[in-house]
Amino acid sequence: MYVKGVGPARAEMLQAKGLSTVEDLLAYAPFRYEDRSNVKTIEELAPGEMATVIAEVRTTRASAFHRRALGLFEATFRDSSRAILLGKWFHGSYLANVLAPGMRVALYGKVEFDSFTGELSMLHPEFEILADDEEGDASLHTGRVTPIYEAAGKVNTRLFRVLMHRVLEGIPPLDDPLPRAVRERLKLPDRWSALRQLHFPPADADLRLLNGFRSQAQIRMIFEEFFWLECGLTLKRSKARLAAGIAFELNDRVRERIKAMLPFKPTAAQKRVLGEIARDMAAPHPMNRLLQGDVGSGKTLVAAEAAIIAVENGCQAAVLAPTEILASQHYYYFRNLFQKLGYVVALLVGSQSQREKTQLKKLVAAGLVQVAVGTHALLEEDVEFQRLGLAIIDEQHRFVVMQRLHMIEKGTQPDVLVMTATPIPRTLALTLYGDLDVSVIDELPPGRRPIKTKHVTEERIEQVWSSLKREVDAGRQAYVVYPVIEESETQAMKAAEKMYLHLKDIVFPGCRVGLLHGRLSSEDKEAAMESFKRGETQILVSTTVIEVGVDVPNATVMVVEQAERFGLSQLHQLRGRVGRGAEQSYCVLVTGKLNDAGRERIRTMVDSNDGFYIAEMDLKLRGPGEFFGTKQSGLPALRIGNILRDQELLELARHEAEAFLAHPAGDEELRRAVTYLRTNWQRRYGLVTVG
Ligand code: ADP
Ligand code: MG
């Protein structure tokens, strides 16, 4: 549809925000509202009230203020009542290029009495320049509860208001795609009224509800977005369940073999989760399951059990890790476990020689390797499995989804088990991994003592070293970790190297200190890790390469330098490297001076050992974008819904979506929903296989 005022240039700016259709535009919700219903003339203003005036700029003045150059910007305004209002902005020097005498503006703010000049004034008022062209009816912008939009290029909040108004006035009401029964039961307004109220709230609208995204119109739009998202995920999941996969047999022999492998009695949670996995594997459809559990909860052991089911059915298992160090960790762990069973476990990583790789690939292709462990090298084109039955993917966060798919295409629809060491609150897991079934290990192996966590500032580091020394003298081992800052790994490495020399020569001259960082060759990395595992190295200085998966039960001390630089979930991962044996373990977070936010983060770590709680805090403190990293996390780009703020609506929508798809009012309604989903939502959520 053609919208007056949107030429090619503006269309492009809108498109950059993902707004290419009228529907997209209408779904672009204001992020804030202002009550500008109280429009007065300057003469009518009283100090203390919030008000809107429409006036003309008379004079402007930028000045250095008192002693400090605060860049005070002042302007005077006059309106039809001939009275004068003073506007003041600190750090406002940029306004000299924005406001000029003669301009007509709408000002909104708190009226004050300026004792210095004896005039009425507003400090930092919101304002909008009332341009002469296409400003629409002035009543769109003032004299009402006014929507504020995030600008898209040069399409500013005013222009958005005008466009929204034009569209809402210019087109016939849109159909409501939400199933009627759902809408009526939840007493949600219909879509068209919701959209109108979203952009132009009624005069009696409650500003607090609006700005909390809890007006009826907003709730309706948020629910709708989540409803379709959940419908899409549910359909995708049920479709995957229908695809043909391998039905593994679970007989006594398999059970015997698992028993023979197990070095410990599994916890109740491990048993339950294995049951869920085994049921999936026995079904003639591909498994797509996410295995969640706090660090040290014993996910790897469960994965090993699953691998046995595959191997005993004449299939191969692949284990994918994000880094070489982790891959080799897994390799040793699995080789150790499977020795008794006579399985051949192979490691395939990028840094191996071409000859070595070629040799290994041959063995894998011939089916002579039962369990292949590796990094993305395993995903390379020319690795052929004889019969891949199970793919275990560690640390899903670090994998590009494409790689995952690529991998899966190698076998005939193998079962997929994704392990994540970053616990995610359940509702979020269900949404982010909505196409996966979720299993949670919510129990630690017995005999673990909670890790004691302490916060120490840099100047008291000597105390840290002396307690570390006591532990080492008692036969235990310790990690000292430095953060890697992405853009300067070299610098972090240097810091680690320097600290390594300092600790080795000056602080702990009698101890065996090792060094591990990302720039070492893979042999050196492995050698450093192995020496620590065997207990030869007592203190391992490392950059964050040990973040996940390292398993040395005798290590009881984790010192994290510059802990303020780490995310909470990352700190929790690091801390999870200790506390793996029966001895009391310690984690020391060393920081510089902290601001309030930093203190709160560190306090969260000191107070809690619960990975799910920490993940939730991390999410709250950093926001979902940063928490999940880049787009590869698969986090859907939501328009109005916010998975943190709207968790309850998300839960409700999931429930409703599942119920609706299980019992639609009729075939016609279901078809309508699927069609709507396909044409409107597939593109955005990548629900490519819907329907
Ligand atoms: P995760 O991968 O969940 O972080 P791991 O599988 O690495 O945890 O297990 C952590 C440690 O606990 C390992 O040393 C592992 O051998 C041990 N472990 C796992 N399951 C049990 C159990 N049921 N009883 C005792 N120790 C266990
Ligand atoms: Mg592990």
DSSP result, 564-607: GGS-HHHHHHHHTTS--SSS--EEEEEESS--HHHHHHHHHHHH
Q: Which atom of ligand 1 is nearest to the CA of 548?
A: 4
Lowest mean pLDDT among 251-260, 460-469, 550-559, 672-681: 672-681
pLDDT at 129: 81
The number of the ligand 1 atom at minimal distance from the alpha carbon of 447 is 25
Ligand 1 pocket residue status of 301, Cβ below 6 Å: yes
Do residues 410 and 385 touch, judged by C-beta distance below 8 A? yes
Q: Where are the alpha helices (DSSP H) in 216-266?
A: 216-242, 252-261
- Amino acid 31: pLDDT: 92
Asked if 560 and 577 count as a contact pair (C-beta separation under 8 A), the reply is no
**Shared domain check, 332 and 217:** no
Distance 270 CA to ligand 1 centre (A): 10
d(CA 360, CA 377): 12
Q: Evaluate: CB of 573 within 6 angstroms of ligand 1.
A: no
User: Which of 402, 431, 367, 424 minimizes the C-alpha distance to 654?
Assistant: 431
Ligand 1 in contact with 329 (CB < 6 A)? Answer: no
Same domain, 345 and 373: yes
Among 262, 300, 546, 574, the mutation site with the greatest number of ligand 1 atoms within 8 A of its Cβ is 300
Find, among 445, 437, 402, the residue nearest to 418 by Cα.
437
Atom of ligand 1 nearest to the CA of 441: 3
pLDDT of residue 399: 46
Please check whether residue 34 lies inside any domain of the structure: yes
Between CA 87 and CA 45 the distance in angstroms is 14
State the average pLDDT over residues 200-220: 94
68-71's contacts with Cβ under 8 Å and 24+ in sequence apart are none
- Note whether residue 2 is domain-resident: no
Domain-located, residue 622: no
Which of 138, 156, 173 finishes a domain? 173
Q: Would you place residue 670 in the very low, low, confident or very high pLDDT band (cuts 50, 70, 90)? A: confident
pLDDT for 137 beyond 80: no
**Could you tell me if the CB of 553 is within 6 A of ligand 1?**
yes
Whose C-alpha lies nearest to ligand 1, atom 6? 298
The residues near 242 (Cβ < 8 Å, ≥ 6 apart) are 285
Average pLDDT over residues 510-527: 84
Tell me the two tokens of residue 20.
Answer: 């290419």
Of 173, 196, 224, the residue that ends a domain is: 173
Where helices occur in 409-504 by DSSP H, the ranges are 426-432, 461-473, 489-502
Please check the confidence at residue 666 and state whether its pLDDT lies above 50: yes
Residues 69 and 27 in one domain: yes
Which residue's CA is the nearest one to ligand 1's atom 11? Answer: 296
How many angstroms from the chain centroid is the CA of residue 558? Answer: 26
Q: How far is the CA of 297 from the centre of ligand 1 (A)?
A: 6
Give the number of the atom of ligand 1 that is nearest the alpha carbon of residue 294.
Answer: 3
CATH of the domain at 134: 2.40.50.140
396 pLDDT above the threshold of 60? no
pLDDT higher for 401 or 424? 424
| pLDDT reading at 211 higher than 90 | yes
Tokens standing for residue 22: 């009228």
User: Could you tell me the distance, in angstroms and rounded to a whole number, from the CA of residue 10 to the centre of ligand 1?
Assistant: 57
pLDDT digits 0-9 by tens, 425-447: 666 676 666 677 889 898 888 88
- 157 with 47, same domain? yes
Query: Could you tell me the distance, in angstroms and rounded to a whole number, from the CA of residue 549 to the centre of ligand 2?
Result: 4
pLDDT of residue 497: 83
Please state the rounded mean pLDDT for residues 298-305. 94
443 close to ligand 1 (CB < 6 Angstrom):
no
Please tell me which of 253-267, 383-397, 564-578 the model is most confident about, judged by mean pLDDT.
253-267
User: In this model, does residue 603 exceed pLDDT 70?
Assistant: yes
267 pLDDT band, cuts 50/70/90, is: very high
From residue 285, give the alpha-carbon distance in Å to each of 237, 308, 393, 662. 11, 18, 18, 20
Cβ–ligand 1 contact at 296 (below 6 Å)? yes
636 lines ligand 1 (CB under 6 A): no
Residue 687 pLDDT grade (very low, low, confident, very high; cuts 50, 70, 90): very low
User: What is the rounded average pLDDT of the residues 651-658?
Assistant: 90
Atom of ligand 1 nearest to the CA of 266: 23
CATH number for the domain spanning 590: value is 3.40.50.300
Query: Which residues, listed in sequence order, are joined to residue 337 by a DSSP beta bridge?
Result: none
Classify strands 555-560 and 586-591 as parallel, antiparallel or unpaired: parallel
- 222: containing domain: 174-242+649-691
Q: Which residue has a Cα nearest atom 20 of ligand 1?
A: 298
340 and 355 within one domain: yes
CA of 586 to the centre of ligand 2 (A): 20
Domain assignment of residue 563, yes or no: yes
Q: 638: part of which helix (H) or strand (E)? A: none
The pLDDT value recorded for residue 398 is 45
| Mean pLDDT over the full length of the chain | 85
342/486 same-domain check: no
Would the pLDDT of 66 be above 60?
Answer: no
467 burial via Cβ count (<10 Å: 0-12, 13-18, 19+)? middle
Which of 93-102, 245-254, 646-655 shows the highest mean pLDDT? 245-254
pLDDT above 80: residue 455: yes
Query: 402 or 227: which carries more pLDDT confidence?
Result: 227
- The answer to whether the CB of 591 is under 6 A from ligand 1 is no
* 201-205 long-range Cβ contacts below 8 angstroms, 24+ apart: 201/33, 201/144, 201/145, 201/147, 202/145, 203/37, 203/144, 203/145, 205/33, 205/145
Residue 427 is assigned to a structural domain of this protein: yes
In a domain, 617, yes or no: no
Ligand nearest to the CA of 575: 1
- Indicate whether 63 and 90 sit together in one domain: yes
pLDDT of residue 632: 38
**Interval 526-573: pLDDT, tens:** 788 889 989 999 999 987 666 545 778 999 999 999 999 888 878 888
Do residues 371 and 391 share a domain?
yes
Ligand 1 pocket test, pick from 337, 551, 572, 583 with the greatest ligand atom count within 8 Å of Cβ, gives 551
Do 40 and 68 lie in one domain? The reply is: yes
Confirm if 428 and 643 have CB atoms less than 8 A apart.
yes
DSSP string spanning 264-324? SPPPHHHHHHHHHHHHHHHSSS--EEEEEE-TTS-HHHHHHHHHHHHHHTT-EEEEE-SSH
Distance 45 CA to ligand 1 centre (A): 70
Both 218 and 275 in one domain: the answer is no
Is the C-beta atom of 577 inside 6 A of ligand 1? no
Residue 546 Cα, ligand 2 centroid: separation in angstroms?
12
Is the domain of 472 the same as that of 599?
yes
Q: In this predicted structure, what is the pLDDT of residue 596? A: 86
Asked whether 266 lines ligand 1 (CB < 6 A), one says: yes
3-state secondary structure of 193: helix
- Domain membership flag for residue 247: no
Higher pLDDT, 141 or 280: 280
High-pLDDT (> 90) share of the chain, %: 43
Q: What pLDDT score does 67 carry?
A: 47
Based on the domain organization, do 113 and 238 belong to the same domain?
no
Which atom of ligand 1 lies nearest, measured to the CA of 553? 14
Of the pLDDT bands very low, low, confident and very high (cuts 50, 70, 90), residue 630 is very low
- The Å distance, Cα 678 to ligand 1 centre, comes to 43
Q: Provide the domain count of the chain.
A: 4
Question: What whole-number distance in Å separates Cα of residue 351 and Cα of residue 355?
Answer: 11
Task: Classify residue 288 by burial, with Cβ atoms within 10 Å: 0-12, 13-18, 19+.
Answer: buried
Is 630 contained in some domain? no
Which are the contacts of 555, defined by CB distance < 8 A and separation ≥ 6? 476, 477, 478, 479, 532, 540, 577, 578, 580, 585
Domain boundary among 558, 575, 608: 608
Please tell me the least confidently modeled range out of 30-44, 94-108, 194-208, 232-246: 232-246
Q: Is the C-beta atom of 299 inside 6 A of ligand 1?
A: yes
Does residue 572's CB lie within 6 angstroms of at least one atom of ligand 1?
no
Write down the pLDDT at residue 432: 63
CA dihedral 190, 195, 201, 207 (to 10 degrees): 90
Read off the pLDDT of each residue in 486-499 and give the average, rounded to a whole number: 71
Q: Comparing 489-503, 554-568, 647-661, which segment has the lowest mean pLDDT?
A: 489-503
